[in-house]
C-alpha cells in the first residue's frame, strides 16, 4: 500500500528561522528566503506488519445544567481513582500586559477556598498515599489528583471548592507572585538558553496571534498585576461552562453521578459570555533575528516552519516526520549533525500543535568552533533530503511503531487515560 509521508499543507512554503548564538555571549536567530518550500514528500511503501489492536477507551459523558461537561471512565481493576479538571484557558488568554496570569493561577488554585484552608490539597492527597499537580499550556490549564478510591468524594468536593469558592487575599497573591517570579529567574534567566526558548523564540515566531505571549510571563507584567486583575481573571475563565471534569478509576457510577451533581451542580456561571480569543497568525514573509544572552556557552540554531493546528488531519503525518528527524540516536538529525559531521552536540526537532496554529521546529546546539551558519545549512539540508529522497520502509515503520507504542504506554494507567481524553477534548 502506498503511503504519503506528508502533504503540501503540512509544511508551508513560508519558512521562519530562529537561532541562538553564543559568540560574545549571544543568542541569535536566523531565517532564510521565503521561496524555500518543504512540501509534498515522495511516496514510500508502508512496511508490512500485523495490525495493532488498540482497546477502545470507554467512557460515559453528560453535561450538567450549568454547562460543566463530565466524562467518567470506570475501571474496577484498579484500587485508585483520578480526578481531573481541565479549564479552557491558557497562556494565549492572558490579558494584554498581564502575561503569565494563567500560570500564576495554577499556583493560586492550591491556596484557600471558602471551606478549605491553605495547603489542603496536599493533605487530602499526600496524606493518603496519593498525589496532585497541575500544568498550564498555551490553550489549557488542568488540575489532577490520584488517590485511593475510597477518597473520591473528598477530591470532588475539593475541586468544586476551588472552581466556585476560591479565596484570593492580598497575602496569598503576593506570596504566589514571588514564587512565580523566582521560577522565572530560575527557568528563564539562569539557564543558558532560557531566554531564547521561553521568551524570544515564541515572540518572534508568533507576532500577530496571542500565542506570542510567554506562558511563564514576565517580571514587569507580574509586578504590574493587582489582586483585582486576578479576581477578574478567575471569574472570567474558571466557570463550569468552560471546564471538563474527568474521573477515571474504581467507582460506583450512580454514586459518582450523585456526588458530582451535589458538589458541582450548584456552581453558577457569571452573567456574561466567555471571551473569544482567536486572532490568526499571518506568516507573510520569512524573517530572521539574532538574540544575545550573557550565559550562553555555545551557539544554538533553530528553524521553524508554520504547519497546521492540532485537529488537522496532517498532524499524524507531521508526528511521523518529527520521529524520523529526531527520535533517538539513529534519527536523521543526530546521525548527520552529531555523529557524521560532528558540528553539533545535539540536534532535534519538535512537532507542536495548538488549537489555532502549529509549527515544526528543528534545532541544534553547535559544537565549539562551529558557526550558526553551519548549523542552519545542515538542518536545512536534512529537511530538503526528506523532500527529495523518500524515507526508507525501515525508517517509516520505526517512527510509526514508536508513536503507537508511546500512545499505548500512556493508556496503561487511569491517569494516563484521563490525560488522553482531556487533551483530545480541549484541542
Residue 371 confidence (pLDDT) above 50 = yes
Residue 276: pLDDT band with limits 50, 70, 90: confident
pLDDT of residue 33: 31
Active site residue 398: no
> Angle CA(385)–CA(13)–CA(26) in degrees, nearest 5?
80
pLDDT of residue 31: 37
C-alpha cell at 255: 454514586
Residue 1: pLDDT band with limits 50, 70, 90: very low
- What residues contact 371, with CB distance under 8 A and at least 6 apart? 299
Residue 188 confidence (pLDDT) above 60 = yes
Catalytic residue among 36, 96, 106, 119: 106
Cβ(295)–Cβ(341) below 8 Å: no
CA distance 418 to 422: 6
How many other CB atoms are found less than 10 A from the CB of residue 169? 11
Residue 63 three-state SS: strand
CA distance 48 to 311: 28
Report the chain's mean pLDDT, rounded to a whole number. Answer: 86
Query: Domains in the chain, please, with CATH?
Result: 2-52+286-408 (3.30.830.10), 67-277 (3.30.830.10)
C-alpha cell at 103: 500560570
The burial of 145, by beta-carbon neighbours within 10 Å (0-12 exposed, 13-18 middle, 19 or more buried), is given as buried
Range scoring the smallest mean pLDDT among 142-146, 150-154, 230-234, 317-321: 230-234
- The whole-number average pLDDT for the span 331-360 is 95
Q: Where are the alpha helices (DSSP H) in 165-215?
A: 170-184, 194-195, 201-205
Range scoring the smallest mean pLDDT among 250-259, 365-374, 382-391: 382-391
How many other CB atoms are found less than 10 A from the CB of residue 377? 13
What digits encode the pLDDT tens for the residues 375-411? Answer: 999 999 999 999 998 899 999 999 999 999 998 999 9
At residue 130, φ and ψ (nearest 5 deg) are -105, -165
The burial of 87, by beta-carbon neighbours within 10 Å (0-12 exposed, 13-18 middle, 19 or more buried), is given as buried
Which percentage of the chain shows pLDDT scores above 90?
A: 63
What digits encode the pLDDT tens for the residues 92-145? Answer: 999 988 999 899 989 999 999 999 998 898 999 999 999 999 999 999 999 999
pLDDT of residue 20: 44
What digits encode the pLDDT tens for the residues 79-95? Answer: 999 999 999 999 999 99
Residue 275 confidence (pLDDT) above 90 = no
Residue 162 confidence (pLDDT) above 50 = yes
At residue 81, φ and ψ (nearest 5 deg) are -145, 145
CA distance 388 to 382: 10
**Longest Cα pair distance anywhere in the chain, in angstroms?**
67
- The whole-number average pLDDT for the span 294-318 is 93
The DSSP element (H or E) to which 404 belongs, if any, is helix 393-410
What digits encode the pLDDT tens for the residues 15-50? Answer: 333 444 443 343 334 433 333 322 223 333 444 556
pLDDT of residue 258: 98
More confident residue, 16 or 352: 352
pLDDT of residue 115: 95
Amino acid at each position: 500500500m502506498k503511503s504519503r509521508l506528508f502533504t503540501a499543507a503540512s509544511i508551508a512554503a513560508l519558512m521562519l528561522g530562529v537561532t541562538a548564538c553564543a559568540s560574545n555571549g549571544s543568542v541569535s536567530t536566523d531565517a532564510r528566503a521565503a521561496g524555500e518550500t518543504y512540501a509534498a514528500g515522495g511516496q514510500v511503501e508502508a512496511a508490512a506488519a500485523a495490525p495493532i489492536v488498540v482497546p477502545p477507551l470507554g467512557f460515559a459523558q453528560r453535561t450538567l445544567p450549568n454547562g460543566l461537561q463530565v466524562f467518567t471512565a470506570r475501571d474496577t481493576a484498579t484500587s485508585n481513582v483520578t480526578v481531573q479538571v481541565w479549564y479552557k484557558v491558557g497562556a494565549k488568554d492572558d490579558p494584554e500586559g498581564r502575561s503569565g496570569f494563567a500560570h500564576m493561577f495554577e499556583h493560586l488554585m492550591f491556596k484557600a477556598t471558602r471551606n478549605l484552608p491553605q495547603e489542603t490539597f496536599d493533605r487530602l492527597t499526600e496524606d493518603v498515599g496519593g498525589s496532585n499537580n497541575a500544568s498550564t499550556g498555551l490553550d489549557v490549564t488542568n488540575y489532577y489528583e490520584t488517590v485511593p478510591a475510597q477518597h473520591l468524594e473528598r477530591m470532588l468536593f475539593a475541586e468544586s471548592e476551588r472552581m466556585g469558592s476560591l479565596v484570593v487575599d492580598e497575602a496569598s497573591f503576593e506570596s504566589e507572585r514571588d514564587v512565580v517570579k523566582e521560577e522565572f529567574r530560575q527557568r528563564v534567566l539562569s539557564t543558558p538558553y532560557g531566554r531564547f526558548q521561553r521568551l524570544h523564540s515564541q515572540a518572534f515566531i508568533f507576532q500577530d496571534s496571542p500565542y506570542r505571549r510567554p506562558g511563564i510571563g514576565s517580571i514587569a507584567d507580574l509586578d504590574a498585576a493587582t489582586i483585582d486583575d486576578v479576581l477578574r481573571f478567575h471569574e472570567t475563565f474558571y466557570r463550569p461552562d468552560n471546564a471538563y471534569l474527568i474521573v477515571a478509576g474504581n467507582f460506583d457510577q450512580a454514586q459518582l453521578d450523585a456526588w458530582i451533581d451535589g458538589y458541582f451542580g450548584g456552581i453558577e456561571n457569571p452573567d456574561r459570555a466567555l471571551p473569544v480569543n482567536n486572532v490568526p497568525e499571518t506568516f507573510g514573509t520569512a524573517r530572521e533575528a539574532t538574540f544575545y544572552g550573557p550565559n550562553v556557552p555555545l551557539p544554538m540554531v533553530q528553524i521553524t516552519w508554520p504547519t497546521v493546528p492540532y485537529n488537522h488531519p496532517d498532524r499524524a503525518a507531521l508526528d511521523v516526520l518529527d520521529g524520523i528527524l529526531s527520535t533517538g540516536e539513529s534519527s536523521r538529525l543526530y546521525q548527520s549533525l552529531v555523529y557524521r559531521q560532528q558540528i553539533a552536540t545535539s540536534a532535534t526537532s519538535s512537532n507542536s500543535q495548538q488549537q489555532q496554529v502549529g509549527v515544526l521546529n528543528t534545532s541544534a546546539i553547535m559544537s565549539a568552533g562551529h558557526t550558526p551558519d553551519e548549523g542552519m545549512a545542515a538542518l536545512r539540508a536534512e529537511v530538503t533530503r526528506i523532500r527529495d529522497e523518500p524515507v526508507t520502509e525501515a525508517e517509516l515503520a520505526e517512527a510509526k511503531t514508536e508513536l503507537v507504542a508511546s500512545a499505548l504506554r500512556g493508556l496503561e494507567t487511569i491517569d494516563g487515560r484521563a490525560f488522553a481524553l482531556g487533551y483530545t477534548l480541549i484541542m
